[in-house]
Amino acid sequence: MVGELVKLTSLKTFVKVVLFVIIFVVLSVFIAFVLKDDTTSYSRVLTHEFYNQKNIDILFCGASHVSHGMDPRIADKEFGRNTFNTGTPNQGIHGTYAIIRQAIKSYKISRIYVETDFAVACRDGKKHAGMGKSDFIVLSFLQDFFIKRDFIFENSSHDTLLNAFLPIGKDKLMTLSPKKVLHKIKSLITGEYFKYEYKTPDAGYAGKGCVLDYEKIKEGSFSNDYFEPPFKPISNYWKSYIEKIIKLCAENEVEIVFYAMPCSDFYLHEKGDYNIFYSEMKNYINSLGFEYYDFNLCKEEFSMNDDDYFDDNHLNINGIDKFSRFSCDFFTGKISAKDMFYSSYAQKTQNQKQKIYGLLIIKTEDGKSFEIIPMTNINDKDSITYDISIQNLNGINELAKNTKETKVALPKGTSGKILVKSYVNGILNNSVKENYVAL
């Protein structure tokens, strides 16, 4: 009798635990859905579109350079096949591998284009390091249980597994802003949320993963107020996933093309000698038996202008249109590699006219002065001069005219904008602005 009571008590406890878990999970899913700030998320629209294709023949894979790089409307016509763009913000190579697994599972993919973004390829990565925002965006894209499971376990430690599995948690784009939550609830009630449209005041959407930013950099106005981290060697972590992608595609008879999206010359010069990265990447990809196409080495007729970018390394709507057309012409054999590319980045810059790509305006740690560092292909720095002013509440104050001096003191206790015009042999090259605060 006592044994039966113990069994009954144990059964009741088990049922209570199960009910608690079910209720907790259901509530978590509901709360996560309501609090997730994805009303205007292009990755949510991308995911919806991806799973509503009859078939995807060609896939463009990578991070934000890809989503701001290839317009499927143009690629579909040029290739005569259905193409799709799966670029998401800050997507790591482990995320690219998971998305490719999902794509091959879902469709009869014939070819993938893998973008070799140096910011991703040189990133120090470790398995089980924990998942961040970019990983949870990829996770929400994945639908196959086993692919999701593998992605979570490969990228989560024991301490972060619970956060990875639960619907709510850190880095999952949750918001506690009443305004944003009410906006989402309103969009759910009106049905706007389920129209799967992406549009912001500054950007539109070409469909199938391609974001069209409307803003553009004014020609000759690239600047920055900090140093970009320099190029690093390609990480073994990145290489390990590239080799997994190659193995996966070979098993499924999927062709692979490796390429690099164009970034501004200003951005590349900020980070050091691009030839070092290009040579390392080319040699590595070639050693695996593949060709490597780097669109940072394009000849003049295919090079990007400053106003083809909306920042120093992402193309805007004009740049996307331009790149999509000439890259598709190249990939379909209408343009040869000889006509498209220089043999090195150094050869490209040597064949350009002498110019200043942009200026670094670096403030000193004590906030009392700044230094101008030109990003340029000019060897004779004596040919470069500057007009330097500051703009604040007192108006515009000229600090120097036609000077070669690059270190300049700031007026104490002021704030505003540093205005610099740079000249090469007396010809205006750049006009830039950067904020400052002088202590």
Tell me the per-residue pLDDT of 195-246, one tens digit each, with 9 for 90 and over: 888 888 999 999 999 999 999 999 999 999 988 888 999 999 999 999 999 9
- Identify the pLDDT of residue 181: 78
Coil vs helix vs strand at 370: strand
Phi then psi for residue 293, to 5 deg, are -120, 115
Whether the pLDDT of residue 20 is over 70: the answer is no
Asked whether 123 and 63 are in contact (CB, 8 A), the reply is no
Q: What is the pLDDT of residues 419-436, one digit of tens each?
A: 999 999 999 999 999 999
How many CA atoms does the CB half-sphere of 258 hold within 13 Å? 23
Of 272, 238, 230, 235, nearest to 258 (Cα)?
Answer: 238
Classify residue 99 as left (phi > 0), alpha (psi -120 to 50) or beta. alpha
Please give the residue that has the higher pLDDT: either 435 or 6: 435
Annotate 288-320 with DSSP letters as a single string. Answer: TT--EEEGGGB-GGGPPPGGGBSSSSSB-HHHH
As a whole number of angstroms, the distance between CA 206 and CA 203 comes to 10
* Largest distance between two CA atoms of the chain: 103
Rounded CA separation 277/201 (Å): 36
Please check the confidence at residue 35 and state whether its pLDDT lies above 80. Answer: no
Give the chain's length: 439
Do 14 and 174 form a contact (C-beta atoms < 8 A)?
A: no
Residue 417 exposed, middle or buried by CB count within 10 Å (0-12, 13-18, 19+): middle
Tell the residue number behind the tokens 């505003």, with chain if given.
Answer: 416
Model confidence pLDDT, tens digit, residues 188-208:
888 888 888 888 899 999 999
Q: Is 212 helix (H, G, I), strand (E, B) or coil?
A: strand
Residue 167 gets which letter from DSSP? Answer: S
Tell me if residue 271 falls in helix, strand or coil: coil
Does 17 score more than 90 pLDDT?
Answer: no
Report if pTM > 0.85: yes
Contacts of 436 (CB under 8 A, 6+ apart): 363, 370, 390, 410, 415, 416, 417, 418
Write down the pLDDT at residue 240.
96
What are residue 294's DSSP bridge partners? 260
Instruction: Tell me what pLDDT residue 2 has.
Output: 56
| Cα dihedral 218→224→227→229 (10° resolution) | -40
CA distance 366 to 63: 37
**Mean pLDDT for the chain overall:** 91
Q: Is the pLDDT of residue 25 over 70?
A: no
The token pair at 301 is: 């007729």
Radius of gyration from C-alpha coordinates of the chain: 26
